[in-house]
A and B are shown apart, each in its own frame.
Chain A
Amino acid sequence: MDWMKHLLVVPVLLPLLTGASLLLIDEIRHTAKAAVSLASSVLFVVTALALMQMADSGTAGSEALSLSYAVASWPAPFAIVLVLDRLSALMLAVASILALAALIYSMARWHRAGPHFHSLFQFLLMGLAGAFLTGDLFNLFVFFEVTLAASYGLLLHGSGAFRVRSGLHYIAINLAASLLFLIGVSIVYGVTGTLNMADLAARLPNVPSENRMLLEAGAGLLGVAFLVKAGMWPLGFWLPSAYVAAAAPVSAVFVVLTKVGVYVVLRLSLLLFGSTSGELTNFGGTVLMWGGLATLAFATSGILASQALGRLAAYSVLVSSGTLLATVGLGDVPVISGALFYLVISSFTTAALFMLIELVERAREPGADLLAVTIEVYGEDGEETQEKEDEQVGVIMPGALAVLGVCFGCIALLLAGLPPLSGFIAKFAMLAGMLNMDGLGSSAEIAPRVWLLFALIILSGLAALVAMMRSGIRIFWAPLEAVVPRVLVVEVAPVVGLLALCLLLTVKGGAMINYTDAAARSLHDPSGYIQGVLEPVPLGSAAR
């Protein structure tokens, strides 16, 4: 099985090559472009699932399995490595599935709204895959920039004054954050002399105490850069307007972008500042905890205050970020395990919501649900509905309103975390972890901040339920004039697909929790990760 090890580089190379070759196809032949792009994305999903299988294969003895792949065959601390473990494989799978759904959705209309949609989409995938797989801080920067550059293009896709204006803000914020990222990386390099994450983790406990403050400053700056991406309060004000401005399939795939920030924070804080790093243990944990709580509170009130569905979805992204950041700050195995499950569910749900909103809005007068205050934000909506009228090819969905209504109800249940869907299992796993930090039945005292987080998570679910019900009643039960939206099968299919996946995760909840448990345990014991990178064993013996 020698070729299997090269599977690790496929998620980076495949979208890169596809995106580049799509540039050569003329814009007029958009069907050919779409076919190539779709084929590549399907392959990407298959690869990601195979990698997930591979990462999970060492269940018996080697709990903390991680596989590294030296890209240019140079040994680890000196050259670029890609690292696969359970967490990165999980993130990769989530990103690939979301991307496939968004791509299928875009086939109905959006991919013809501007040039190079498919190329940009593939480059975004490449950057995401690289960011999840890389084992090197500076490469993380490069992949971040690839992702962001592609996301700038995608955010502007479809053009219009509102998009360009939010795009300008989005680009400016992210450029500033990237500069902070660079400063942080160079300080960390200046103090420790390495950029390889595993090598860094091994060297951190030996940093002389006079340099520790410099190192903490560097790590803090790095953290700020990631938290801007994750949208932590007060760094996340750019997020709602950018996500609302983007085209529906684009905002669906942007859901993963905030998760990249969360992923890096989770990976680095447990790898570098885990239990083995001496005085630096749990560095930044308090900031993450309180920052996450503030984000959660801010986003919960945002959800309740949203008049338009788009903003509601954007604030749901922030709720998910806040919950995840606070749980990372808490940092215990059972909580992290539940949080990973929650990450998967909330990504799928919010992405499905973003896509559903566009379909639902078609049934209504533009701006029907907006008060005068927000009408100016949506001022451009008139033009967009004009665009929608023209060419629509494909099979029109029968009974559209019923299907959309059921999907909407499922999303509400998933966002609120109510049984019987998997949102409930994910939240239950997190909350149960908070109450039983050291395993079931332990008598350890529960800290007040944990209670606060507990309450806020439940409150945010309630807020989501209230807001979704409010909009749902207005859209499906009491429309002023009933217009049956023209909805294509190819647009509903990805929404239904994502929700079906959430349903599958309800049934297969046990297997999923086992996986996230193992992932959380190996995150807490970084020695396996470090060993996997610095002293790689031939893959055949590690995986089988």
Chain B
Amino acid sequence: MELTLAIAIGVLTGSGVWLILRPRTYQLVIGLSLLSYAVNLFIVSMGRLRFGAAPVLGPDGIGNPADYADPVPQALVLTAIVIGFATTALLLVVLIAARGLTGSDHVDGRESR
């Protein structure tokens, strides 16, 4: 499981970094999205990988904390997803505005010679 997750994060990050270095605005958006997926997975993994453990305490009180998954990274991921979603949407709007104003989908607004 650790290996799968590590490879997934690695592949996502690698593709993301390659894409944000590309000259097209669409590639930039996809690259940033892939990077944010990688980062979200990474945050979850920082709370240690656990199976079948709930992050929320049951109605019968605390019990043994070791039986539960760490809820903090999950809360962080939730916030990061929401913020990432909002900023990506904003970036898309700017991308379309730039396309309309400059007539090019190059990040500099004109083709490099």
List residues of A whose CB falls within 8 A of some B CB.
Answer: 138, 141-142, 145, 148-149, 152-153, 156, 159-161, 164-165, 167-169, 171-172, 175-176, 178-179, 182-183, 185-187, 189-190, 195
Contact of B107 among A172, A179, A189, A195 (CB under 8 A): A172
Complex Cα distance, B72 from A169, in Å, reads 33
Given contacts A185-B76, A186-B73, contact A171 B94 (CB under 8 A): yes
Given contacts A167-B94, A172-B107, contact A183 B87 (CB under 8 A): no
Given B47, B79, B87, B108, which contacts A175 in the complex, CB threshold below 8 Å?
B87
CA distance A329 to B98 in the complex (A): 39
Give the distance in Å from the alpha carbon of A412 to the alpha carbon of B42 in the complex: 49
Q: Which of B17-43 contact A (CB under 8 A)?
A: 20, 25, 28, 32, 35-36, 39, 42-43
The CA-CA distance from A189 to B42 in the complex, in Å, is 12
Instruction: Determine chain A's interface SS by DSSP, over half rule.
Output: helix
Q: Residues of A contacting B97 with CB < 8 Å?
A: 156, 159, 164
A156 near B39: Cβ-Cβ < 8 Å: no
Interface size on B, residues (CB 8 A): 32
Given contacts A171-B87, A183-B39, A195-B72, contact A165 B80 (CB under 8 A): no
From B36, B73, B90, B98, give the contact of A164 (CB < 8 A).
Answer: B98
Are B25 and A168 within 8 A (Cβ)?
A: yes
Residue contact A168 to B46, C-beta cutoff 8 Å: no
CA distance A141 to B76 in the complex (A): 10
Known contacts A165-B98, A167-B94, A171-B90; is A186 also within 8 Å of B25 by CB? Answer: no
Q: Does B8 contact A (CB under 8 A)?
A: no
Q: Contact mask B90-113 → A, CB, 8 Å, 1/0?
A: 110011011001100001110000
In chain B, positions 35-86 with a C-beta closer than 8 Å to chain A are 35-36, 39, 42-43, 46-48, 72-73, 76, 79-80, 83, 86
Per the bound structure, the CA–CA distance linking A165 and B97 in Å amounts to: 9
The 8 Å CB contact of A186, one of B76, B87, B109, is B76
Closest partner residue, chain A, to B93 (CB atom) = A156
A186 to B73, CA, bound (A): 8
Q: How far is the CB of A218 from chain B (nearest CB, A)?
A: 9
User: Per a CB cutoff under 8 Å, which of B20, B43, B72, B76 touches A172?
Assistant: B20
Residue in A closest to B101 when the chains form the complex, CB atoms: A161
Closest approach, in angstroms, between the C-beta of A169 and any C-beta of chain B? 7
Query: When the two chains form their complex, are residues A165 and B83 in contact, meaning their CB atoms are under 8 A apart?
Result: no
Distance from B14 Cβ to chain A, minimum over Cβ atoms (Å): 14
CB neighbours (8 Å) of B90 from chain A are: 149, 152-153, 171
Bound form: Cα–Cα A130–B105 in Å: 36
A536 CB → nearest B CB, Å:
22
Q: For B102, list chain A residues within 8 Å (CB).
A: 161, 164-165
Q: Do A149 and B91 touch (CB < 8 A)?
A: no
Q: Are B47 and A190 in contact (CB under 8 A)?
A: yes
Residue of A nearest to B87 (CB): A175
Contact, CB under 8 Å: B107 / A169: yes
Q: Is A161's CB under 8 angstroms from B42's CB?
A: no
A171 touches B91 (CB 8 A): yes
Q: Whole-angstrom distance between the alpha carbons of A187 and B72 in the complex?
A: 13
Given contacts A186-B73, A190-B47, contact A165 B35 (CB under 8 A): no
Q: Which of A142, A159, A171, A172 is within 8 Å of B83, CB to CB?
A: A142
Evaluate contact between A175 and B39: CB separation under 8 angstroms: no
18 A-B residue pairs with Cβ-Cβ distance under 8 Å, sorted by A, are: A138-B76, A145-B83, A152-B87, A152-B90, A152-B94, A153-B90, A164-B97, A165-B101, A165-B108, A167-B94, A168-B25, A171-B90, A172-B20, A175-B88, A176-B20, A182-B43, A182-B76, A195-B72
